Each structure stands twice: as C-alpha cells, then as structure tokens.
Amino acid sequence: MNGSEVSPPGLKNFIISVGALISARGFVAVSQILVLPILARQLSVEDFGLMGLAMTLVIFANTLSDGGMGRSLIRREDADEVEWASVNWLMIGAGVACTVFVAALSPLAASYFDSDRLVPVLLVMSVIPLFYALSAAPNAEVERRENYSGIAKVQVLATISGLVFAVSAALLGLGIWALVGQQVLLAAVRMVGIFKLSHFRPSLTFSTYGLRPHLIYARDTLASAFLIVIRQQLPVMMISRVLGQIPLGYFAMTQRFNRLPQFGLAGPMSSVIYVRMSKAQKSPEKLRDIYYAGMRLLAVLLIPTTTMIAVAGTPIFSVLLSPEWKPVAILFALSIAGLVLEAIAIFFMHALFRAVSRTDLLLRTSIEGVILRLVMMWISLQFSLEAVAMSFTLWSLVMVPRHWQLGARLIPITLSGCLNQLLPASIVACIVALVYALVDHLTELPDLAYVAISASLGLAGVGLTVLIDNQNSKSALNVFRTTSQTLSPTVIGR
C-alpha cells in the first residue's frame, strides 16, 4: 500500500471527467433516440408497456443489490483490503438474493398485472441485479480514482452492444425480446468492462469488523434509494392498474425521453460532484460553491434545450417515432419542466447529503417525496394521463424548495441564491420559445423543418445564455479548479 496522498484533480481534470461522462451519456441518449424509430415501428405500444412493468421490478432489485455500500466505499479514506473485500462479498450475496427474488416473484407479478407474458421476461431479466452487484465494488474503486473516461468507454461499448442486439432482434420479429436482450446485454458488457478497468481484486476474506460504518450508511441510503425507486416506478404500476396497457405504453415511451436530462447530464455530473463534495465535506462554504456551480452549469445546458423540445414536441415526436406516437408530445411537455428542475436542484442536493453523512435528511426527503407522489398520482389518475404527466411538474415545485430548506441547515445557501442560478437560462428559454411560436404561427412547413428550427433555437439558447452570463459561467467552472481536501489512495486487494 502506498501511503502517500493523492492530490485532488483541478479544473482541467474536472472538465475532462464530466466531459467524458456527458459525452458517453450523450452518445447513449442520441443512439437510443436514433434507434427508437425502428423499435417503435417494429414493436407494439403494449410491448413497451410490458417492458416498463418488467423494468420496475428489476430496478427495485438493482437498488437492493448495491444498498449504497459502493458509494460508502468511495467516501471512506481509511478502508483497508479486508474491509473492501468484505463489502464486496456482502453486495454479491445481496445480488444473488435479489436475482432469486425477481425470479420467484414473477408469477405473482404476472397475476397482479394480468399478463402471463411477464413471467418469462422477468425470469430472463432476473440476472441483471447480480451483474450490477458483481461490479459494484470494482466500479467504486474506478470512481474513487476519478477514471471517468474509462467508465465512459465502457458505457459506450455496452450501449452499442445492446442497441445492435435490440435493432437486429426487432427486425427479425422477436418483439419484446429485443428490449429484454438489450437490457441483459447492457448489464453484462458493463460488468465485464468494469472488471477490466478496475484495479480492485477481492481477497478471499470476510470480516464483520469495519462493516458497521458501511451498514449504517447503507441503512439510510438504501431506504432512501428504495423510496426514490418507488416514487419513480409508482406511476408505471398505477397507470397499468387504472388506465391499462396502451396508456402505459405511451407513458413508458415518454419516460424514455424524460430520463435523458437526468441520465445524460445530471447523472454523470452528480457522480463527479459527489466525489468533489466528499473531499470538501469539512468546508460549508466550499460545498455551497460546488452546489451553486453545478446548478448553474446544468441549467445552462438543460433549460433552453428541453424547452424547445417541449414547445416543438408534436413535429419532433411525429418525425422520430411515427404519427401513432403523437400523444407522447403533450405528455413530455407537461412533465419535463418538473423533471429538469429535479435534475438541476435535487440531484446535487442528494450528493451533498451523502457527502456530509446526513443520510437522515436524504431519507426524510425520500419519504416526503413518496407520500406526495402517491397523493398526486391518486388524484391525477381520476382525471387523465395528461394530469398524471402534469403532476411531475407540480411535485418538483413543492419538493425543490423543501430540499433547499433542508440544505440551508448544512451549507449557507439561500432561496434567492438558488433561484439566481436558474434565472439566466430560464429567461433565454422563454425568448427562444417565443421565437419558435412566432415562426410556427407565420409559416406552414414540413415537420422535419420544424425539428431543424427547434434544434437550432435550442443550441442558440445555450450559446446566448453563456454569452449574457459569461462571467458567472466562468466562475462556476473555476469552483472546480481545486478542492480543499485530499484523499488517500484506494487500498486494492490482490
């Protein structure tokens, strides 16, 4: 073991790290969008709805298989070889249990949702939680070294493998198995890639000594993650039971686009920011600066672009998918504002709660979020699928200020300070949306032309925001030039 300290990377490394992850996630997002026209034309709306149901149970199991202990390993400065190995074997055991759980539950799920097709789908997909559990500790070691470019390469390779299979299987007429095989192959290739990338090799040892901090950390983070998954998957289950498979299919397709801001940008940025916050956890002012900077940078990238997709949704989704999928446009427009606000404000606040070991606040907000989502879903389902979509935005308008209120107990943030991070991008988004509305009112063009106009205006909105807010954007980047703490290198079993 090398006892020397590893100096935290500066601004250049932060930009490269985030850029690599965002590029990989961007590639994933774009490639999935490019193949959706093929899948949407080869598969039925019911196939997408059924896959949404199956993924609900698999996502629950994935959450349980890791338990948050992988994130706990990242933040521990003094963890030794035995501790890493013990946590690794514990997570693998949880992964095996989750695989058995999904397989055993498949007949009950099929009966509850009145779909016999769900049983074989879940039996095949039950291996996915085990794949993620096997790679959890190696992935933690890679993230701790901030080797995000390596993670990005693995993500791209796994995505290409999954998409090639999905398209080939769809064209061969395999139906839903195109989507099932894609998810299994994605997890398998990712696991192999992380193994090759990681220096971590677990020793054949196990000790309960040293597990207590990880179990305590996992207790709250697991409960919180489980509740977040419930909140995210609750609409899928309730829509299926109340409205049926076809509305669920439209909702599931909408979710594939709705997740892009969180998956493509907020997810990778929050991973990097979590590591930076962990290194600065003893400096409230530094943590505040990191939080504000993350919000401002993400707002610049997300708000103008998603606004343009929302206002030009009908031609965009008609061209990308087919006229059959036009209902996706209104569902996207009603829900995306709340999901973007959640990505910008809540993702980084959750990273803060974890970094300073206030997982109790993470758990509290998760409980509150599930209760609010349950109430809103029950009310909105009495009206329509569009009301369900609108509830996502209303949920964020309640929960984001609540997170800021709790965050102010830990770091010196203010309501006005948080809103200021969103204001420039929001103003520009309104401007480009009005320009598009004017063009749409004055012209009659093919749908493809409106898609090109909306894309151009979205990119112009990002550029205009950076131009008018240049100084603050530079200041936000400079926050990541240094960090105030250092971390010892990861202890690796051989």
Sign of CA dihedral 80, 83, 87, 93: positive
Mean pLDDT of the chain: 79
- The pair of structure tokens assigned to 415 is 């309501």
More confident residue, 161 or 143: 161
Percent of the chain with pLDDT over 90: 12
Between CA 21 and CA 134 the distance in angstroms is 22
Confidence (pLDDT) at 401: 94
207, with CB counted inside 10 A (0-12, 13-18, 19+), is exposed
Residues 125, 180 contacting (CB under 8 angstroms)? yes
Confidence (pLDDT) at 18: 59
Q: Both ends of the chain: CA-CA distance in Å?
A: 11
Q: What is the mean pLDDT of residues 338-345?
A: 90
Residues 199, 492 contacting (CB under 8 angstroms)? yes
Highest mean pLDDT among 77-81, 161-165, 200-204, 397-401: 397-401
Check whether 364 has a pLDDT greater than 80.
yes
Check whether 109 has a pLDDT greater than 90.
no
Confidence (pLDDT) at 212: 66
Q: Which long-range contacts (CB under 8 A, 24 or more apart) does 158-164 make?
A: 158/185, 158/186, 158/187, 158/189, 158/190, 158/193, 159/27, 159/28, 159/31, 159/32, 159/186, 160/31, 161/185, 161/186, 161/189, 162/186, 162/189, 163/31, 163/32, 163/35
List pLDDT tens digits, range 390-442.
999 999 999 999 999 999 998 888 999 999 989 999 999 999 999 999 998 88
State the CB neighbour count (10 A cutoff) for residue 402: 16
Per-residue confidence band for 48, with pLDDT thresholds at 50, 70 and 90: confident
More confident residue, 492 or 127: 127
Q: What is the mean pLDDT of residues 465-479?
A: 78
- Does the reported pTM lie above 0.75? no
Check whether 12 has a pLDDT greater than 60.
no
Confidence (pLDDT) at 485: 42
Check whether 27 has a pLDDT greater than 80.
no
Per-residue confidence band for 5, with pLDDT thresholds at 50, 70 and 90: very low
Check whether 83 has a pLDDT greater than 50.
yes
